[in-house]
Amino acid sequence: MTQANEQKTAKISRKEQILQSLVQMLEKNPGTRITTSSLAKEVGLSEAALYRHFASKAKMFEGLIEFIEEAVFTRVTRILQDEPQAIYRCEHILTLLLAFADKNPGLCRILTGEALVGEDDRLRARVSQFYERLETQLKQILREAEIRDQMKTVMPVPVTAQMLTSLAEGRIQQFSRTGRSPVENWPEQWAFLADDLLKPVLVSV
């Protein structure tokens, strides 16, 4: 390995270490705003050294949001490839998001926007785009169900997709606020919800 490659590897590892430390601080200090000074102390660097890896704290949060997006939507793509039925696609996608939140309480503070208070406005916009992307994906699944499977939502598709997205977002918010697991009682609640989510399209003869 050349010296340049070694330096690149070390730099990547240090960036990952900084992001991991930020996540740990978000998890350990709910309700507390993370400063670059406290983060530098946690990592064992000076603030100046911190800024050699990230131009700003906003860039650090952007790195975590990118991780969330990639982790969730890569698996969403896999669900769409593996599961043909709309009702199970919706279930698996929402369960995926809730399980991801359950395993990553620090990242939940980003998904709720609580950790972004006082930070760059574009970060909250980026989180909003994450939920909008999720809602758009659910809309597409529900519309395809009517065309391909002759299964129609009881409410209009946009209303149904919004409800499902809001349900997941609300459980994540509750988890961040109370520590109550977002997957607690989820199978039973989904079963109740799914029972009337899609109905066969009636074809007149």
In the chain, the N- to C-terminal Cα span, in Å, equals 72
The tally of CA atoms less than 13 A away on the side-chain side of residue 105 is 18
List Cα–Cα distances, 103 to 96, 99, 121, 176, 183, in angstroms: 11, 6, 27, 12, 10
Confidence of residue 5 (pLDDT cuts 50, 70, 90): very low
Domains identified in the chain and CATH numbers? 1-54 (1.10.10.60), 57-200 (1.10.357.10)
Q: What is the pLDDT of residues 99-115, one digit of tens each?
A: 999 999 999 999 999 99
Q: What is the pLDDT of residues 15-53, one digit of tens each?
A: 889 999 999 999 998 878 888 899 999 988 888 988 888
